[in-house]
Every structure is written in structure tokens, then in C-alpha cells.
Amino acid sequence: MEVFNPNPVIFAPAKATGRRSKPSKPESFWDDEEADVEVDENTVEPIDQDEIFDLIRHISDPEHPNSLEELRVVSAPQISVSENRVIVEFTPTVPHCGMSTLIGLSIRVRLMQSLPPRFKVDIFVKPGSHQSEHAVNKQLNDKERVAAALENPALVDTVEKCLEKAESWGA
Amino acid sequence: MTRFKIAKVAELQGHDERAWNIAWNPAKPLLASCSADKTVRLYHYDHATDSPDLRFTHNTTISTGHTKTVRAVAWSPSGLSLATASFDANVGIWEQEGGDEGEGPNAGEWECSSLLEGHETECKSVAYSSSGTLLASCSRDKTVWVWEVQPDVDFECLGVLMEHTQDVKCVAWHPHEEILASASYDDTIRLYIDDPSDDWFCFATLKGHESTVWCVSWSPDGRYLASSSDDKTVRIWKRVKEHSWESVLVLTGHERSVYSISWGVGKSNDDASLGWLASASGDGQVMVWELTKPSDSDTAPMSSTPPGHSIIARLEAAHGVYDVNAVAWCPRQGYENILATAGDDCSVRVWKVIPE
């Protein structure tokens, strides 16, 4: 297999943010009962940038033994979250990186498996970071292409390998 | 102007994975749906006694034998054959044993009468021409195939059209002429006709959308073509010459990709109505526009004057938080305001558009 970036720069990972998506219990100063009010099932549980980052930082690069975080392919500031939309930008290590769609697909699968279904996820390469930026972005955000890719056993196998570490981190 | 609302008639569960597409049988009270679970489900509908509402009951599930997602379904105009387009690259043709003898509980099993092989990668859409003598299919392999439907469900490939530079998402036949439209990931729409002395060929390329064109649907009168896109818009193209179509209108309102559109005759009280155009999107909304003839439609039917348009109904979260993948008007007389949708929540829903 062709190696697109034989010698990537590796960065030390930051400490895990340790944040979890459990809503903190509302504090009550005068009535214990109120604090135990059941959480309305329509309550939207907020999820922030750091939690999304925790989900994807440990995904392995398809051609190196390193994580996407160590290669600075993903970073927390490149993630934006609103009530029901997540936008993830990632930076391929080299502009001709042929692994970019695979990396993007791994990020998408990880988020699909982990986030509540209300989230629409859009994934883009960092502007100017890839020579086929438009093509990569288009493919990663075409749900039909993604669905078909995930029916391809060889590809699913590769994606699962990239996700093994991320999953064992549990996030 | 009358205001309408979109009211739920039925919610049909049963698919185990994302529901991709639905198709109303044009002749019988049957609705077909298909899914990533590789099956086709058929629902029968009738009027419940002493209720004006339609009642849907699961009729049968066809385990298609397709090895991957069934992406699209289409009925022949007779309603006797059902075509399936699958990510396994094949098109299946399904007919009921015992044929046209009825659809009661004793009617036979649905069996695969033909398997059309030829596409190299995922087949994404399939459509019968209005006469039922032609079938078109398209694929990520960038090609559109035109098949002749011969007696005894024999199919002969009449042409392989290699005009698109990318994935072809949808094919649709003109309602009464043998004109075929295809929509693609290359952001264009192409129109094809048969050269009687030669082969099928592309006579027009419609450019205007800024991203993937997901779906195309002809107006019931055949003078317009609607297209929906990843650029979040719906465009209306008008026939301005025998073989020339122009973009005359851009409809906005969706916030994500518009995956599907369906242009039905509608139930309007406006004499100038060109029918109702429904759209379904990744933003979860279903919208219905009424399109009306432009004032010069009698004097200059091929002018580039756009049709009148207004949103008559809008439904948010049609499938909850999930994407809506397909929308289709019931083509049967008396049911012109009945709509079906298919969603990522695995369900198929049926709606009626009624005055508010």
C-alpha cells in the first residue's frame, strides 16, 4: 500500500478533558423532592466541543500507529457544536493524503455510533489543507455514498481498525 | 388563498433499518417501501367503515435476495410489476404469482421474474416510462441504462448513456413523452430521447444547482421539470422550445439537502393550478408548494415566464429528529392529497394535505 505521509509530525496528547454528558442535578436549597424531579424526556442534553473531541481524539490514523490527536489531524477548536448540529473540521497530514476520506469516514462512524440521533454531523477538511478538498468534503457528506461505503466489508474492516482504540477509551 | 395542513394518516413500522424510498401502486391500493434492511414491504389500504380516514395494513414483506440496501422502488404503470434498485448493482423485477387476479389474501407470492444485471456499482434509482414499455436505471458507475420491457418480462438493453461525470442519483420519465431525465452528483441534470435511426442520446444538460442533484420530478402536464439538490434548493425548469429547458424558478426554505421531490396533481380549487410539489429534506421538513400557470401560459406557453408559486403547507420534524429520504404523492384518483414519506427512523408515514 502506498504511504502518503511516511514521516508525520507527532504531538503529545493533552490530558483527557474528563467531561461527561450527564446533566448535573439541579440543586435545591429548600426541598429535597424537587431535586429528584425526573428529567423530562424532552430535555435536550447539552454536548460540548470537548466531549466530541474525546470521542474522536483516539481514533487511529489508517497508516500510522498514532492517534488523530497525536498527528494533529483533529483538535478541539476545530469542532463546533450547536443544539443539534456538529461540524468537525480535520487537517490531513499532507495535502495529497489519499487516506482523507477514510479518516473522515472513521470520524463520521464514530460520531454516528456515539451521538444521540438528533445530531446532524458535517465533516470537512480544513480549507486549503487538501488538494482535493471539494471532492473529499462532498463524498464525506453524501449520506448515500457513506451508506454504500459501510456495506463494503473491506472498508468496514479498515474503519473498525481505526476505531478500535477510540472505543476502548470508552469516551 | 386556502391554507393547508399536513395531517398524519398512518405510521408504518417494520423496517429494521433506514427506509429509503416508497412507491404507490398506480392501479391498486398498495404502497411499497424499501430499506437498507434489503426488504420491500407492501401495505394495503382501504377506508375504515364509518370513517373517512384511510387504514393501512401490512400485506407482505418481500425478502428480495438483494445482497445490499434496496435503494429505490418503482411500479410499472399497470401496477403489475415492481422494480427494485439495489446497492448490489442489480435491478429486480417482481411480479405476483397469479398475476392480475386480485390482491386479496389468497393472491400469490411476489417473485423475482427478472434480474437486470449490468451496472458495475450501486444502483440508485429505477423508473418505468408512462407507457410501461421502457425502464431506466442509474448507478454510481456514472451510467444510465434504458431497457425495453418485452412481453414475458424479458428485458433488452437499448442504450447505456455515459454522459454524467459522476454518480447518477435519480432517473425520471416524462409523464407522456419518451423523454428521460437523470440527476447526478456532478450537479447537473441530463435529458435524453431516442433517435429513431440511431441510439438514445442526451439532448440537454441543465446546469444551475451548486451541488449534487438528488431528485427530479416532472410536472403532471409535462411542461416543467423540478429538481432538488444538496444546495438546499428546488429548481423549476420550463420547456421553452421542443428540446430546450430553462431554469425559471428557485424555491428555498429547506436548511439541509433536499433528498426527494414529488409533483402531483394536488387538490386545488385554483383553475390555474399546475399541481402540488412536495419536498423532503435532511432538515426533517416536508414542504408543499402550489405552482400555478403564469399569466402568459395561453398566449405564450413556451415563454420563460416562471410559474406562480406559494408554500401551502409545511411540516417540521416529519420523522422526528431524523432525515426524510423520500416523498411521494399517491397517483390514484380520489387520493390526490395523500402523501407518503420514508425516513432514517426506519418508518414510513402517510399524510393528508387538508384545508386548515
- Complex ipTM value: 0.95
Instruction: Select from A142, A143, A151 the Cβ nearest to the Cβ of B68.
Output: A151
The reply to whether A10 falls in a domain is no
Domain range B4-16+71-80+117-355, its CATH number among 2.130.10.10, 2.60.40.730, 3.90.226.10, 3.10.20.30: 2.130.10.10
Q: Please tell me if residue A151 touches chain B, with a CB cutoff of 8 Å.
A: yes
Per-residue pLDDT reduced to its tens digit, B43-64: 999 987 777 789 999 999 999 9
**A54 pLDDT above the threshold of 50:** yes
pLDDT recorded at residue A31: 45
Q: How many whole angstroms separate alpha carbon B263 and alpha carbon B240? A: 20
Q: Please tell me if residue A153 touches chain B, with a CB cutoff of 8 Å.
A: no
Q: Please tell me if residue A84 touches chain B, with a CB cutoff of 8 Å.
A: yes
Q: How far is A56 from chain B (nearest CA, A)?
A: 23
In B134-243 the beta strands, taken as DSSP E runs, fall at 134-139, 144-150, 154-161, 168-173, 180-184, 189-194, 200-206, 213-218, 224-229, 234-241
Query: What is the pLDDT confidence band of residue B102, given thresholds at 50, 70 and 90?
Result: low
Query: What is the pLDDT confidence band of residue A7, given thresholds at 50, 70 and 90?
Result: confident
List CB contacts of A169: < 8 A, sequence separation 6 or more. Answer: A16, A54, A58
The reply to whether A22 falls in a domain is no
Domains in chain A: how many in total?
A: 1
End-to-end Cα, chain B, rounded Å: 11
Backbone dihedral angles phi then psi of residue A108, each to the nearest 5 degrees: -60, -45
Q: Using a CB-CB distance cutoff of 8 angstroms, which residues of chain B are in contact with residue A143?
A: 257, 282, 323
The reply to whether A101 falls in a domain is yes
Provide the 8-state DSSP code for B100.
Answer: G
pLDDT recorded at residue A52: 97
Q: Please tell me if residue A121 touches chain B, with a CB cutoff of 8 Å.
A: no
Contact B87 A145 (CB under 8 A): no
- C-beta neighbour count of B47 within 10 angstroms: 11
Integer CA distances (angstroms), A133 to A3, A85, A123, A137, B19, in order: 19, 21, 11, 6, 31
- The closest alpha carbon to A95, from A130, A134, A132, belongs to A130
Q: Write out the DSSP string of B205-221.
A: EE---SS-EEEEEE-TT
- Tally of CA atoms within 13 A in the half-sphere of A124 that contains its CB: 11
pLDDT recorded at residue A35: 44
The better pLDDT of the pair B324, A96 is held by B324
**Any idea what the CATH number is for the domain that residue A127 is in?**
3.30.300.130
* Domain extent listing, chain B: 4-16+71-80+117-355
**A4 pLDDT above the threshold of 80:** no
Radius of gyration, alpha carbons of chain A? 18
pLDDT recorded at residue B150: 87
Strands B39-47 and B30-35: antiparallel
Query: What is the pLDDT confidence band of residue A43, given thresholds at 50, 70 and 90?
Result: low
Q: How many whole angstroms separate alpha carbon A5 and alpha carbon A61? A: 11
Query: What is the pLDDT confidence band of residue B101, given thresholds at 50, 70 and 90?
Result: low
Least confidently predicted of A82-96, B91-105, B185-199: B91-105
pLDDT recorded at residue B47: 87
The reply to whether A37 falls in a domain is no
Contact B185 A120 (CB under 8 A): no
Please say whether the beta carbons of B128 and B74 come within 8 A. Answer: yes
H-only helix segments in chain B: none
Residue B174, all three cell numbers: 416524462
Q: Using a CB-CB distance cutoff of 8 angstroms, which residues of chain A are in contact with residue B345?
A: 117
pLDDT recorded at residue B103: 53
Least confidently predicted of A19-33, B47-61, B215-229, B337-351: A19-33
Q: How far is A49 from chain B (nearest CA, A)?
A: 21
Q: Please tell me if residue A83 touches chain B, with a CB cutoff of 8 Å.
A: no
The single residue listed with the C-alpha cell 424555491 is B251
Contact B167 A145 (CB under 8 A): yes
Q: How many whole angstroms separate alpha carbon B350 and alpha carbon A145? A: 27
Q: Please tell me if residue A148 touches chain B, with a CB cutoff of 8 Å.
A: yes
pLDDT recorded at residue A29: 43
**B80 pLDDT above the threshold of 90:** yes
Q: How far is A45 from chain B (nearest CA, A)?
A: 14
Containing structural domain, residue A88: 46-168
Q: Please tell me if residue A120 touches chain B, with a CB cutoff of 8 Å.
A: yes
Please say whether the beta carbons of B295 and B231 come within 8 A. Answer: no
- C-beta neighbour count of B355 within 10 angstroms: 12
Q: How far is A147 from chain B (nearest CA, A)?
A: 9
The reply to whether A107 falls in a domain is yes
Q: Using a CB-CB distance cutoff of 8 angstroms, which residues of chain B are in contact with residue A141?
A: 230
Integer CA distances (angstroms), B24 to A7, A153, B27, B33, in order: 57, 33, 9, 9
The reply to whether A72 falls in a domain is yes
Per-residue pLDDT reduced to its tens digit, B234-275: 999 999 999 999 999 999 999 999 999 999 999 998 999 999
Q: How many whole angstroms separate alpha carbon A39 and alpha carbon B205? A: 55
Task: Among A61-65, B161-165, B196-200, name the most confident range.
Answer: B161-165
pLDDT recorded at residue A171: 45
Instruction: Select from B122, B185, B256 the Cβ nearest to the Cβ of A120.
Output: B256
The reply to whether A114 falls in a domain is yes
- C-beta neighbour count of A74 within 10 angstroms: 23
**B276 pLDDT above the threshold of 50:** yes
Residue A107, all three cell numbers: 470520524
The reply to whether A90 falls in a domain is yes
pLDDT over 70 for what percent of chain B? 97
Q: How far is B245 from chain A (nearest CA, A)?
A: 27
The whole-number average pLDDT for the span B124-128 is 98
The whole-number average pLDDT for the span B33-39 is 98
Which of A44, A112, A121, A144 should one mutate to test binding to chain B, selecting the residue with the greatest count of B CBs within 10 A? A144
Q: Please tell me if residue A85 touches chain B, with a CB cutoff of 8 Å.
A: no
